Amino acid sequence: MNPSWWNWQAAADALPLLLEGFLTTLIATVGGTIIAVILGLFIAVLLRGLPAWAAWLPRLLVAFVRNTPLIVQLVFVYTLFSMNEALIEVSALTVGIAVIGVHYSTYMSESYRAGIDAVPQGQWEAISALSLPPVRSFRSVILPQALRATVPSLGNYAVAMFKDTPFLMAIFVTELVRTAEQVGGRTFAYTEAFTLAGLIFLAASYPTSLLIRRLEKSLATY
């Protein structure tokens, strides 16, 4: 017998649709993470390599992206593409992946910067003494050491990005939460739809958080 506030049949009917929405959420998270990891490293290296007089504009842009709401950035970029016919036509999901990736790259760049700054001074002096080229120095000496301090925080940002994907419904991307809203609107089973959505988020993010914590401990003792 179903309790008055829960309908098992409605939950069973909603689950396949919610899993389809979760696939979109997963695609957005993976795509955004790839962009953020690569672009964040580029930003960190760029800001470190530029002289102070040339770095002010990139720093201003990074601060602007980091300190404005993600949902505002999503709506602005989506509206820009949808209203300007001269721009290339892209899907809402593509816009969402790009915007969320760029947004989180500004946070990941700080993690990279902290990791690079944590490399012992002796390593920098050894690079200078050996006259290693800058690209080889970063690839072979600096980055392997910096990543040990950086990887856990990058993973935490990826989990935060996953939990921020519901903002994509502001640009009509049918991700997990929007799917739950649509299911609830059709069947009036809002409790079942949103409860299952929350459980799916938990089932995906909690094990990932445990793995990141374990990785952090293993890297700390490496």
Distance between CA 42 and CA 33 in Å, rounded?
A: 14
pLDDT score, position 2: 59
Distance between CA 185 and CA 181 in Å, rounded?
A: 6
pLDDT score, position 220: 62
Contact criterion met (CB below 8 Å) for 33 and 161: yes
Identify the structural domains of the chain with CATH numbers, from first to last.
9-220 (1.10.3720.10)
pLDDT score, position 3: 67
DSSP for the chain, written as a single string: ---TT--HHHHHHHHHHHHHHHHHHHHHHHHHHHHHHHHHHHHHHHHHHS-HHHHHHHHHHHHHHHTS-HHHHHHHHHHHHHH-TTSPP--HHHHHHHHHHHHHHHHHHHHHHHHHHTS-HHHHHHHHHHT--HHHHIIIIIHHHHHHHHHHHHHHHHHHHHHHGGGGGGGT---HHHHHHHHHHHHS-HHHHHHHHHHHHHHHHHHHHHHHHHHHHHHHT-
pLDDT score, position 48: 83
Residue-wise over 12-24: b if at least 16 C-beta within 10 A, else e?
eebbebbeebbeb
Distance between CA 111 and CA 150 in Å, rounded?
A: 6
- As averages over each run of 10 residues, the pLDDT of the chain (222 residues) reads 76 93 95 96 88 86 94 94 74 95 95 83 72 71 78 88 94 93 90 94 89 75 58
Distance between CA 105 and CA 141 in Å, rounded?
A: 23
